Structure 1
Amino acid sequence: MSDQASPRARDLDIVLYGATGFVGVLVAAHLAAYAPAGTRIALAGRSAERLEALRTRLGVDWPTVVADAADAPALEKLAAAAHVVITTVGPYAKYGRVLAHACAAAGTDYVDLTGEVLFARASIDENHELASTTGARIVHSCGFDSIPSDIGVHVLHAQVEADGAGELTDTTLVVTSLRGGVSGGTIDSLRHQLDVVKKDRYSRRLAASPYSLSPAPAQEPDLGAQRDMDTPRAAEVDPSLRGSLAPFVMAPYNTRVVRRSNALRGFAYGRGFRYREAMSTGTSPLSPVLAALTKVGLGALAVGLSLPPTRFVLDRILPKPGEGPDERARRAGHFTVDVFTRTTTGARYKARVRAKGDPGYAATAVMLAEAALALVLDRAALPDSPGGVLTPATGIGDALVGRLRAAGLEITAGAIDD
């Protein structure tokens, strides 16, 4: 039995690694404000001075841990001391593999913010079997990528199942409202993945496969082509949806996380479950133009970051890692995603996930911190699992839903009445 089963077997409940980074500071502030008294938390990173300054700023007496992302012995010691490790240090393909493996080996639960297909696949290959043995829950993508997607489908499926309305078939997440800045860390992760796929044929095929994160790709249903940047017409998603749809930049990653959840659950969502994501550009006369410009712009960004001359220019324009919006802008941000489905009985359902705060910063910090708190404090409510490389839905599930609702997120699901 893993020592995860004993709630006081380790010195610390949570270690926050990357605590002095832009998002790390926001996560630390949320923990300082909302973690129950007695939760044993440590701040970790590369600089003792910056960690001490953060501790003073927060007014907490938490211990600090100095560890470099490439120092395997230090990260192994860090992992062995805690029940849960939170890491905000990316790009994860460059800086995350050692820590994820250390947590899997130590039987330590782990949460991060990755939206990187290649890193997640590497972690599955390196850590899933090991973590299943030690009992560690290695839960990637616990921020805006990919909690609204994964938890949105999770609650949608739960409501359909509770109503006896069959299984999910065509299911589409639509970002119906969004205000927030682009994360410098997300841009840096995109740069790194583009560099890798440009040089490596296997990585290109992996990044393009709709089932690249599946535990058993050969067992996935044959649903035809699933091009994650193609967008349907609004009426094809649901008769109630209006306006024009554009590609959603994180669809190529989020869709693979949701498909992994379905497969890890033995295809509980349905063997005919077909999932995609899009973004609404509104209902004004200009919305079709905005949708077309969004598609062209996303393609141009990928091409621009792939070519040295244009990358040189973009690197001076786009936000850099560690940069982000000021507090006023973070507070003004928000997002709403609606997940539409039609079931095998012909019923129509919709789930909604909505939050205040900049999606990539303020809202993400809440989601990441609450995911860690759920793993520490709500173990009886976690999904039954021996451990492994899991998703938010399969690794934390209803425990996370409850905590996010208590933290102010709107998470609902129900039938759509004609």
Structure 2
Amino acid sequence: MSNESDPRPEPGGGTQEAAPPSSKSREPGRELDVVVYGATGFVGRLVAAHLAEHAPEGVRLGLAGRNRGRLEAIRNGLGSGAADWPMLIADATDDASMDVLARSARVVISTVGPYARYGLPLVRACAEAGTDYVDLTGEVLFHRESIDRHHETAVRTGARIVHSCGFDSVPSDLGVYRLYRKAAEDGSGELTDTTLVVSDLRGGISGGTVDSLRMQIDAMKKDKQARRIGLSPYSLSPDSAAEPDVGRQSDAAIVRGADVAVGLGGFLPPFFMGPYNTRVVRRSAALLGHAYGRRFRYREVMAVGSSPLSLLPAAAVTAGMGGLVAGLGFGPTRAVLDRVLPAPGEGPKEKARANGRFAVDVYATTSGGARYRSRVAAHGDPGYAATAVMLGESALALALDRAAAPETAGVLTPATGIGAALAERLRARGFTLEVERR
């Protein structure tokens, strides 16, 4: 993997709701503050609706996609406040349209996946134009290619390319980042063993998520280098050779609750999004100059019960995750799964999205022996309703709270590219973000 320049973002302080940028501060030629690319897709519509309802007055918003008629239909459904939002016709297969899109806005939101198929042209355009960019990818191969191709360009132009600003991987990344900040403020030492536990989860899955998984499985089957990247715990790190030697880090092991935190019972299977989230968190640690600690170890698991009998559902969950991946990788079983899994463009219905929720608890022990817990929780389907809030607020933080965000550029993570500014915005939207010493 390539060595990157280390932007070393400073762990900045809090932020506040900023006023829309004045005309003097707006860059010439930047017609918009935030534009949603892929606004006619499932998540894109939700993000556009969130911005229409919650963006401060005066923020210049726009929609982008391939089909003007469908964009108009989406805009018409957003209410009178969106009636004059500009619409940009853009297609990932047309580099010129990507360049126009990137130059039109201060921040571009991309919801067009699978990102391995459609994402890189817009990342390239934003990096070259010095335009901030956010997405909701959970694709490790795309993220790695984005780093290798466009990190240095973004550093040079000042662009903040912030991947994974949805349920992948904001709760994980901010949960650990806030633990680090609290331990540092307390003088309690560096983080050592750190575990995220998904303590509550209710939500659905979309066809786009399934399609992204299919593409990654296919790529790893065909290419040894892709398989090596996909399996490495440090596949998103700036320089994997410079990572501290903390022993084997497994993303597929069942662990005892008592080994995670005092009072936590039962057995905990791996969280199905952990193989990606853990790599994002480890990238954050590296971009911060390993400030989390040279003995920082991180994993993600999920609660399935507190009794000794929870070993049975934990084993079933672990086997089910492996079975799904194996099934999608084998032609005959993939054909069967494709008939029952949601197709691209499909996702949970409105009632299911509203009734969803999530809560994650991150437990850590410091080098000084102190124990901490951080919690990130929200109402709404985590992958869609809550993700729309996280993605929309990430873009608004970059557009409006830039002075409060870390001073850095390049291909970043939510913690290193937005940090405390995003945490404050999410709290204002009803998210729970807590840190306590135990």
Q: Quote the Cα distance in structure 2 between the aligned partners of 1:334 and 1:12.
A: 32
Residue 305 (str. 1) matches residue 328 (str. 2)? yes
Residue 58 (str. 1) matches residue 81 (str. 2)? no
Residue 38 (str. 1) matches residue 38 (str. 2)? no
Within-5 A mapping of 1:237-256: 237-256=260-279
Partner of 2:347: 324
1:341 to 352, 360, 364: 364
Partner of 2:130: 107
Within-5 A mapping of 1:146-225: 146-225=169-248
Q: Deviations over 1:17-40 (max 9, x none)?
A: 000111111000000000011111
- Asked if the contact 2:207/2:344 (under 8 Å) is kept, the reply is yes
Q: Deviations over 1:148-203 (max 9, x none)?
A: 00000011111111111000000000000000012221111110000000000011
Q: Quote the Cα distance in structure 1 between the aligned partners of 2:91 and 2:417.
A: 27
Q: Aligned to 1:159, what secondary structure does the other structure show?
A: helix
Residue 13 (str. 1) matches residue 36 (str. 2)? no
Q: What is the identity percentage for the equivalent residue pairs of Structure 1 and Structure 2?
A: 63
Q: Quote the Cα distance in structure 1 between the aligned partners of 2:250 and 2:60.
A: 45
Per the TM alignment, residue 286 of structure 1 is displaced from its structure 2 partner at its CA by 5.0
Q: Quote the Cα distance in structure 1 between the aligned partners of 2:366 and 2:359.
A: 23
Partner of 1:49: 69
Residue 129 (str. 1) matches residue 147 (str. 2)? no
Q: Quote the Cα distance in structure 2 between the aligned partners of 1:320 and 1:155.
A: 37
1:353 to 370, 376, 384: 376
Q: Deviations over 1:311-348 (max 9, x none)?
A: 00101101122111111110100000000000001011
Q: Quote the Cα distance in structure 1 between the aligned partners of 2:93 and 2:305.
A: 45
Q: Quote the Cα distance in structure 2 between the aligned partners of 1:116 and 1:241.
A: 31
Q: Aligned to 1:223, what secondary structure does the other structure show?
A: coil
1:229 to 252, 257, 262: 252
Per the TM alignment, residue 288 of structure 1 is displaced from its structure 2 partner at its CA by 2.2
Q: Which amino acid aligns with 1:400?
A: L
Q: Quote the Cα distance in structure 2 between the aligned partners of 1:286 and 1:91.
A: 39
Q: Aligned to 2:384, what secondary structure does the other structure show?
A: helix
Partner of 2:11: none
Q: Aligned to 2:254, what secondary structure does the other structure show?
A: coil
Q: Quote the Cα distance in structure 2 between the aligned partners of 1:81 and 1:68.
A: 15
Q: Quote the Cα distance in structure 2 between the aligned partners of 1:285 and 1:232.
A: 12
Q: Which amino acid aligns with 1:27?
A: V
Per the TM alignment, residue 72 of structure 1 is displaced from its structure 2 partner at its CA by 0.7
Per the TM alignment, residue 272 of structure 1 is displaced from its structure 2 partner at its CA by 0.4
- Asked if the contact 2:371/2:437 (under 8 Å) is kept, the reply is yes
RMSD: 1.2
Q: Quote the Cα distance in structure 2 between the aligned partners of 1:90 and 1:294.
A: 27
Residue 68 (str. 1) matches residue 91 (str. 2)? yes
Residue-pair matches, total: 412
Per the TM alignment, residue 216 of structure 1 is displaced from its structure 2 partner at its CA by 1.3
Q: Deviations over 1:194-246 (max 9, x none)?
A: 00000000111111111100001111011111111113211111112122211
Residue 257 (str. 1) matches residue 257 (str. 2)? no
Per the TM alignment, residue 110 of structure 1 is displaced from its structure 2 partner at its CA by 0.3
Q: Quote the Cα distance in structure 2 between the aligned partners of 1:337 and 1:225.
A: 24
Q: Aligned to 1:16, what secondary structure does the other structure show?
A: strand
Q: Which amino acid aligns with 2:193?
A: D
- Asked if the contact 2:49/2:78 (under 8 Å) is kept, the reply is yes
Q: Quote the Cα distance in structure 2 between the aligned partners of 1:183 and 1:366.
A: 17
Q: Quote the Cα distance in structure 1 between the aligned partners of 2:263 and 2:170.
A: 24
Q: Quote the Cα distance in structure 1 between the aligned partners of 2:25 and 2:169.
A: 28
- Asked if the contact 2:179/2:372 (under 8 Å) is kept, the reply is yes
- Asked if the contact 2:327/2:334 (under 8 Å) is kept, the reply is yes
Q: Quote the Cα distance in structure 1 between the aligned partners of 2:316 and 2:229.
A: 28
Per the TM alignment, residue 287 of structure 1 is displaced from its structure 2 partner at its CA by 2.6
Q: Deviations over 1:26-59 (max 9, x none)?
A: 0000000000111111101111001001111112
Per the TM alignment, residue 250 of structure 1 is displaced from its structure 2 partner at its CA by 0.8
Q: Quote the Cα distance in structure 2 between the aligned partners of 1:95 and 1:342.
A: 40
Q: Deviations over 1:76-125 (max 9, x none)?
A: 11001110000000010000000011000000000001000100000000
2:427 to 381, 391, 405: 405
Per the TM alignment, residue 284 of structure 1 is displaced from its structure 2 partner at its CA by 5.2
Q: Quote the Cα distance in structure 2 between the aligned partners of 1:282 and 1:357.
A: 23
Q: Which amino acid aligns with 2:426?
A: L
Residue 119 (str. 1) matches residue 142 (str. 2)? yes
Residue 388 (str. 1) matches residue 410 (str. 2)? yes
Residue 366 (str. 1) matches residue 386 (str. 2)? no
